[in-house]
Amino acid sequence: MNRFLVRALLVMCISLLVAQLSACGGGDATTDADSDSDNDGDSDSDGDSDSDGDSDSDGDSDSDGDSDTDGDSDSDGDSDTDGDSDSDSDGACEFDCLPHCGSWGGTVQPGTCDDADLKCCKDADTDSGSDGDSDGDTDGDSDSDGDSDSDSDGDTDSDGDSDSDFKPCPASGDCKILPFGDSITFGMKDSANGNGGYRVPLFSMALADSKSITFVGPEKNGPAQVDGQPFPQNHEGHSGWTIDQIKGRLPSPALSDMPHIVLLHIGTNDMYGNNPGGAPERLGSLLDTLIADAPDALIVVSTIIPFPMQQSTTDTFNAAVPGVVQSRIDAGAHMILVDMVTGFPSNGLSTDNIHPSDEGYEFMASVWYAAIKEYLP
């Protein structure tokens, strides 16, 4: 009896012990999600299995024994805190951040790229050669878009600096030229050509090159023919006239037959008259009137030939003429300047030392022709 009782008590104790042991094991399993079950002495609050003995708060698997706080996969055994792909691997960006970054300049869609990814974008963008900083593309930095080029966009071209593209004369038929000025335009002291002055050799030069020209203006003088062709005797040259006097001929009768080209040599009679120092201003006023009255004509303005009796005032006037002309060109006028002083022949003046000799008129014709030849049909 006692033996059976002892056995029963022993069985009960064993059962109770087993139950107690089971209860202890189950309780540990149900509460270890919040406190570490690995007894490794570290804090583990990530809800995953951690057996490496280090601090791991990144939410991923980390088995390399180093500190990893970047949120990405790191398996190279070194410290990686840059947020991008570790440089020990393939050197590529962690992910394709370029679509998010746009052109490099700091403009980024919120939440798509962090600072380190932006560095990746910048590096990749620089390598691609498409950022416009220093490349050979067509982004406007050093290319053919008008910064420093020779195209036709108006930066460094021929659309306003010279009139080489301007075509005052018709494509066929005569180009009408108005010789405009004083007695030098009239042709005084021209012994060889019946007072036709520079107009006669100018017409001859055009004929020799098969250019079609005629002279217009209300005045007439000169030979009937030149080189076997009828000579157009018209002009607007008046002996003794000043700048203001010929200005009074505008618009009529000087422009009654509207010229395509005007050849202007005026100012000699202003050099010994009243206020020669004001001659450049008067010339400017004449040019402004001529531009307004003949806006489609090419106006060829000349310095005046040497005038020994008034050489000082002549030199002063001639020095001012280029500026007077250039200011009108800059404003858009169809105008060019010719130099009647440089190269003027030593025997270029007649005995009165005012009007050209035959050689002087020949020289003037060559200067005029060189200036207008490209415009003639």
Helices (H), 66-198: 98-101, 115-128, 183-186
Do 102 and 227 share a domain, yes or no? no
Interaxial angle between packed helices 199-208 and 358-372, expressed in degrees from 0 to 180 and rounded to the nearest 10: 50
Q: What residue type is assigned to position 268 of the chain? A: T
Look at residue 133 and tell me if it is in a domain: no
| Whether 110 and 246 share a structural domain | no
List of the chain residues with pLDDT < 70: 1-13, 15-164
| Environment class of 6 (CB within 10 Å of its CB; exposed 0-12, middle 13-18, buried 19+) | exposed
Cα separation, 233 vs 49, whole angstroms: 114
Q: What is the pLDDT of residue 174?
A: 96
Q: Which two tokens stand for residue 101?
A: 């970054």
Which of 122, 142, 167 corresponds to the end of one domain?
122
The verdict on residue 78 lying in a domain is: no
335 phi/psi in degrees, rounded to 5: -150, 145
Residue 194, classed as helix, strand or coil, is coil
20 falls within a domain: no
Domain count, the chain: 2
Residues 199 and 117 in one domain: no
The CA–CA distances, whole Å, from 120 to 54, 83, 108, 112, 154 equal 30, 10, 13, 13, 40
Between the CA of residue 280 and those of 140, 257, 287, 309, 313, what are the distances in Å? 44, 28, 10, 19, 11
Sequence-distant (6+) residues with CB within 8 A of 226 are 193, 196, 200, 203, 204, 207
Confirm whether 163 is domain-assigned.
no
For residues 268 and 310, what is the distance between their CA atoms, to the nearest angstrom?
9
**Distances in whole angstroms, Cα of residue 38 to Cα of each of 28, 31, 41, 320:** 11, 13, 8, 101
Please check whether residues 103 and 238 belong to one and the same domain.
no
Q: How many whole angstroms from its chain centre is CA 3?
A: 118
Give the Cβ contact number of residue 113 at 10 Å: 21
On whether residue 202 sits in a domain, the answer given is yes
Same domain, yes or no, for 183 and 109? no
Both 262 and 364 in one domain: the answer is yes
Which pLDDT does position 195 carry in this prediction? 84
- Whether residue 153 contacts residue 146, with contact meaning beta carbons closer than 8 Å, is answered with yes
The dihedral region occupied by 259, where left means phi > 0, alpha psi between -120 and 50, and beta the remainder, is beta
CATH of the domain at 201: 3.40.50.1110
The answer on 247 and 115 residing in a single domain is: no
15 falls within a domain: no
Peptide bond preceding 253 in cis form (omega within 30 of 0): yes
**Domain containing residue 115:** 93-122
Q: Is the peptide bond before 251 cis (omega within 30 degrees of 0)?
A: yes
Residue type, 23: A
Task: Tell whether 112 is covered by a domain.
Answer: yes
Do residues 184 and 107 share a domain? no
Whether 75 is in a domain gets the answer no
CA 128 to chain centre: 26
113 in the same domain as 233: no
Structure token pair of residue 243 = 């700048």
